[in-house]
Amino acid sequence: MEFKESYSHLLQPGKIGTMELRNRIIMPAMGTNLNNSDCTVSDAFVAYCLRRAEGGVGMIVTEVVAPEAEGRVITGELVLDSDKYMNSMSRLPHAIHAGGAKACLQLAHGGCYASARITGVRPKTPSSVGNFQRPEDTPRPMEIDEIHELTSKYAEAALRGKKCGFDAVEIHCAHGYMPLQFLSGYTNRRTDEFGGSLENRAKFALEIIRKTKELCGKDYPVIIRLSASEYVPNGVTIEEACAFAKMAEEAGADAINVSAGTWDSRAADYGAVLAGEKDPAGLDLGLGVGTSVWVQPYFTPRGSLKHLAAAIKKSVSIPVDAVGSISPEMGEEILEANEADFICVGRQTIADPDWPNKIYAGHPEEIRRCLRCNECLGKVEANCQISCQVNPEAGREAELFGQVYPACGDKRVAIVGSGPAGMQAALTARKRGLDVTLYEKEAEIGGELNHIGNPDFKQDFRNYAAYIKNAVKKCGAKIITGHEATAEELAAIGYDAVIVAEGSHVSCPPIPGIETSGVLDPILVIDGGLPEGEEVLVCGAGLVGCEAALVLAEKGKKVTMIDQLPEHAPNMPIYAKWVLNARLAETHVKICTNHTIKELHPGEVVACDKDGNEVTFKGDAVVLALGLTPNHKLANELRRIAPQIRVLTAGDTNGSRKIMNSTEEGYHAARII
């Protein structure tokens, strides 16, 4: 990728109201599930925030904090509806300030997204409108006195935050949270003073701003996070958002953080397309559905929301924050073009907390690039703590097992295989001061990363591959390429430890005809090796099969995927899978699950459906994507002939792995030597 010669706009100090930031980089609110189950701040979250403040961002916005307990959306969500939470909450601004950044409290009430399973009470909303992601909850409408009471609770929570030491408060009026539910005609069907016209629908948010200013002082910065377009029927449009932004400024708001979407964004069209009731053409489903509108996966283009920030900026005189998969390079361009005043960068800050410091130092090539895989969000949605595909330390900053300590004594370590596991192992081992030799049988390090990043929609993977390969080459490890290390060779050299990260190879299950049918390797297809002919059959509908199918379809092939499982890409985070489904629909890939493959012939697949009926699929080529088989031979042989050498395994050598699993295993294998 091309790096900017200067990041002077990103690194320029800026102001939001009376608050001065050391640069124009904001880490926005992101759920982590790191906090305690009693809704108090944990050691883990304090360490997580401190680490990112020390990395150089200008301001950190907390993950959602409920102004009242019944507004919680996830378990363990922070609450600030009582003074009893202040002792705990005050830890966050102290940690963030210690790292040199400003601390902003985000207040968010889930409304119809608050779960009765979590809060124990029926969710309340403007008009009893629910959402497609939580159909089990049946929300109730709010009474007028409840509305005024809730706006006061926002202001009172903001005051508690100010007393705790937060420099600003952000009111979440985006992504379907309560203020947006009032603002939107999609969720607000009221006929009283809080419904009908835009001015009436805006009253809830404006009342929060005014009450907050009254309690906290007119100089206390109030930021509004706004969905500038909802992508739902009768939802907020950019025109309405611009009008509301002016109202918010007049009410006392000091900045507008411009996002987009709600939990139901494009959901109706998405369901109709998957049901075969609508053609996907022109519906823009590939730009995001539901949550994936604002947490875009790698299938979507970067910066797809920046035009919304540019439009809002033309409507107000207060600062505007741009969000939405913005890279450092893109952020610099947006600021230079005066399309925003601050840049919010979320997942990249999870992947590499030090990325602002790296551009301060003039080394953007050393930034560990985010894959936009949404594994981080997937972990949180599964009620687990946040993790990162490329940063094994993310969310583990307070854990002893997450720390890297200098090695005890001089030790020589061999690492065999230079995919994600092997390269991460090399970096961690060198960080500990170990003498490392990295063996790679191919001419270049990188393993499968050299192939899987080739499609247009996997630019993020290419960027990560470039980063980690560059880091390994500079880390001080001895690198031997074009050479397949043997157990005898490694034993003769006498290494103290060997990390085997040889990976795996495409599985060839005992299906009649598999050896003679001319099946193709899916990795080579993803790498650009297109088969001849117009119609292609892809055996296997896991993530590799889906990506191979998408690559083929985008090149104009007619593609059919066949798998015995009941669903395709079963282990993919749902917010990324919605977009994958949309892209597959947009490129007209046919998906045949619940079909067990029985025979293979050149250009032909014979299968049985779930009822036992035989079905024959015909095409011009067949791609075999039925999983991976681990390479165990070297590790087993080395343990047999050299028991004095400590042998560890990492990555696909242990079985089919995601990059997340591979980097974690490589990290910990090197950490415990």
Q: What is the pLDDT of residue 116?
A: 83
Using one digit for the tens of pLDDT, what is the confidence trace for 582-596? 999 999 999 999 999
Place 129 in a pLDDT band, splitting at 50, 70 and 90. Answer: confident
- Give the pLDDT of residue 670: 97
Checking if the pLDDT of 132 tops 80, the result is no
pLDDT mean across residues, the chain? 95
Domain boundaries, the chain: 14-381, 404-505+630-671, 522-626
Chain centre to alpha carbon of residue 211: 35
pLDDT digits (tens, 9 = 90+) for 154-200: 999 999 999 999 999 999 999 999 999 999 999 999 999 999 999 99
* Secondary structure (H, E, C), 390-457: CCCCCCCCCCHHHCCCCCCCCCEEEEECCCHHHHHHHHHHHHCCCEEEEEECCCCCCCCHHHHCCCHH
| pLDDT score of 33 | 94
Cα-based angle 88, 92, 96 (whole degrees, multiple of 5): 165
Residue 395 has pLDDT above 90, yes or no: yes
Task: Look up 298 and say whether it is catalytic.
Answer: no
| Pairing label, strands 558-562, 535-539 | parallel
Neighbours of 317 (CB within 10 A): 8
Query: How many CB atoms neighbour CB 484 within 10 A?
Result: 12
Calculate what percentage of the chain has a pLDDT beyond 90. 88
Tokens of 311: 């439009």
Q: Indicate the pTM of the whole model.
A: 0.95
CATH number, span 14-381? 3.20.20.70
Inter-residue contact 573 to 378 (CB < 8 Å): yes
pLDDT band at 113 (very low <50, low <70, confident <90, very high): confident
Identify the active-site residue in 85, 113, 177, 467.
177
Query: How many Cβ atoms sit within 10 Å of the Cβ of residue 556?
Result: 9
Residue 596's pLDDT is what? 96
pLDDT band at 402 (very low <50, low <70, confident <90, very high): confident
Q: What is the pLDDT of residue 576?
A: 94
CATH of 522-626, one of 3.50.50.60, 3.90.320.10, 3.40.50.2300, 3.30.565.10: 3.50.50.60
Q: What average pLDDT score do residues 333-345 get? A: 98
Q: What is the pLDDT of residues 427-472, one digit of tens each?
A: 999 999 999 999 999 999 999 899 988 899 999 999 999 999 999 9
Strand partners, 617: 605
Rounded to whole angstroms, how far apart are CA atoms 143 and 127? 10
Task: Classify domain 404-505+630-671 by CATH architecture.
Answer: 3-Layer(aba) Sandwich (3.40)
For residue 423, what pLDDT is reported?
98
